Amino acid sequence: MTTPTPLCTRRPLRGLLASALVLTTLACAAGDAPAPSADTQQRTASTDIVHIQPDGPPANPFSPAVRVGNLVFVSGTLGTLPDGTLVPGGIEAETRQVLENIKAVLASDGLGMDRIVRCTAYLADLAEWPAMNAVYRSYFADGKYPARAAVQATLLFGARVELECVAAAK
């Protein structure tokens, strides 16, 4: 059985690769590294993180959505009313309220439901999948559904459904 050679005792790099590495290291250490290109600056600016909080600072330690570059990550959303109570009426009513809540969060960032590219559905009981789907389907143009996964889970406040989504900004 052979023991791996520690990285620090391996043979040094040779040729152009070693020269490029040394020159780059020296330039960076001396502060002579070239300024970032406009393309690099644009990519850096496009990855700024924006916390989307349409109702002001949240009471709980999460944002309703966060934009990073052109992606908007919508937090897990329940079918709650503005006062924080769960909408009555079971899976269909909750699904409708969840989607209305997501729609409002996206609208606050200038986006519509058509920009959603991925959803994860958490259901208290997967037997309610067909009823949830009937409402869910009505929020998207025919055949233009986000990629999606479903998981059975125990949800807060006795909720029947929770959705989290990713949307692509324009």
- On the 0-12 / 13-18 / 19+ scale of CB atoms within 10 A, 45 is exposed
The yes/no answer on whether domain 48-168 falls in CATH 3.30.1330.40 is yes
The residues, ordered by sequence, that sit 6+ positions from 91 with a Cβ below 8 Å of its Cβ are: 123, 128, 131, 132, 160, 161
Residue 151 is encoded by which pair of tokens?
A: 């998981």
Residue 11 is encoded by which pair of tokens?
A: 């043979």
- Enter the pTM of the model: 0.72
- Specify the pLDDT at position 46: 57
Query: What is the mean predicted confidence (pLDDT) over 69-83?
Result: 95
**Domain range annotation of the chain:** 7-41, 48-168
Quick: pLDDT tens for 4-61: 444 434 333 344 333 333 333 333 344 444 444 443 334 445 578 999 988 888 778 8
Query: What is the spatial distance between Cα 63 and Cα 73, in angstroms, rounded to a whole number?
Result: 10
Quick: pLDDT tens for 83-129: 989 999 999 999 999 999 999 999 999 999 999 999 999 999 999 99
